A = this chain, B = another copy of it.
Amino acid sequence: MSPQTFLEDFHHVANIGSTPHHGVDRQAATPDDQRARDWFTAFAKERGWTIRVDGIGNLFALITLRPGAPFIIVGSHLDSQPLGGRFDGAYGVIAALHAAERVERRARETGERPEFNLAVVDWFNEEGGRFAPSIMGSSVFAGIKDREEMLAVRDLAGTRVAEALDSIGYLGPDEGPEAAGYAEIHIEQGRILERESLTIGAVDSSWYTQKLDIEVNGEQSHTGATAMADRRDALLAAAKIISMVHDVTLGFPAEELVSSVGQLTVEPNSPIVVARHAHLVADLRSNSREIVHQARDTLRRQIAELAEAARLDISVRDFDIRENQYYPESGVELTLDIATELGIGARRMQTMAGHDSVAMNRIVPSVMIFIPSEGGVSHCEREFTSDADMLAGLEVLSEVVHRLVHGALAPSLLPGAQGRA
């Protein structure tokens, strides 16, 4: 299949749920997500591949290369953030479909006998913008999250995951394929490759991350009649906490800790009422577990002091803790070797962000590959990666998948065989 065909497919999918400024708004289990999935399904069926949809909406296309063997799975996600970019996730799925087609054709043409079968996947709800938590489908597949619990998660309109999936026809009856390995390609969402003029990142580990769920309970009162000294203002306290969450990063070397608050709800949220309640979610990330723990402890102490001083009831709960994950060294080297063979500039790197591969790496050897994203911009309409970088990534992924179905990483599953590939 030609590079031109890949680019046509990519731009076709980018038009599903497209937004005025070249982004996409294709949140999980919406009609636009359905249309993207229907396109995936049609792509697979045209090639005679078998479609399977599991009970959390993960969509698989199975390609038999060695009847009865387990599967190398390759893919990413077609859902997006609200007003998100057209590359995040979708690039990885479309590249996976095209890489799989190449690997299948090569196997047929050469008569080689691969070790494993091959499956392409569109994981359900990687983004978590509509239904929290993120990385939902792959986490259920990997056994890290409970399927029934995830099916009961509701969006802000009260719709459950199960209902939403059913309404788009993707709450499936199938088991997923038995996995032997996993590969994913994704935009970097950072500036390292761009800064070093490199095209491929071989991801060796993920950052330690955690969130804090913070509830502030004050007292509702009239802005036009309540003395300043008598107020117990939940929104003012939330504002101070948002500043604290930012300022805690200043206690560490630049960029070693990143933090943010992206979500805040206020009740009753009326212009002339002092707010009685605020709910916010803080996000802390570092390569160092120790730094995240220090920042968390500092914030908990500062928030307790604020609650005392402002006569508020503030609860802080740790959640969504993700330990550092290390991808198999053999897979990192495989990616770097292939890039070198193809004459493509590459380096090893980390990911600050979570990905489906972080979940999959818990159960099978997984390979994570990055390509550049201009300005490091992501989760917005301005996200951009050049056609040339996308095609270079497709070349590398195709070769990685070819070697994986031929058993490149399988020995690392056996004790004492680490790093042989």
Among A48-56, A236-244, A401-409, the one that faces the other chain is A236-244
Residues of A near any B CB (own CB < 8 A): 81-83, 88, 127-129, 132, 134, 188-191, 207, 209, 211, 219-231, 233, 235-236, 238-240, 242-243, 246, 249, 254-255, 258-276, 281, 283, 285, 351-354, 375-382
Question: Given A129-B273, A189-B222, A222-B379, 6 more contacts at CB 8 Å?
Answer: A81-B268, A219-B377, A219-B382, A225-B379, A226-B258, A228-B249
- Which of B255, B273, B274 is A227 in contact with, Cβ under 8 Å? B255
Give min CB distance, A131 to chain B, whole Å.
11
Contact partner of A266 (CB less than 8 A), chosen from B134, B189, B220, B263, is: B263
With beta carbons under 8 angstroms apart, the residue of B269, B352, B381 that contacts A263 is B269
Instruction: State whether A269 touches B262 (Cβ < 8 A).
Output: yes
Q: Which residue of B236, B268, B283, B379 is within 8 Å of A242 (Cβ)?
A: B236
Shortest beta-carbon distance from A158 to chain B in Å: 14
Copies in the complex: 2
Enumerate chain B residues within 8 angstroms of A273, measured Cβ to Cβ. Answer: 81-82, 129, 262, 379
Distance, CA A225 to CA B193, complexed state (A): 13
CB neighbours (8 Å) of A236 from chain B are 242-243, 246, 260-261
Known contacts being A229-B255, A264-B264, is A132 close to B271, with CB within 8 Å? yes
What is the chain B residue whose CB lies nearest that of A241? B239
Q: Name the contact of A353 in the complex, choosing from B219, B222, B239, B382 (C-beta under 8 A).
A: B222
Nearest residue (CB) in B for A238 is: B239
Contacting pair A353 B134 (CB below 8 A): no
Closest 3 CB pairs of A and B: A189-B225, A224-B353, A239-B242
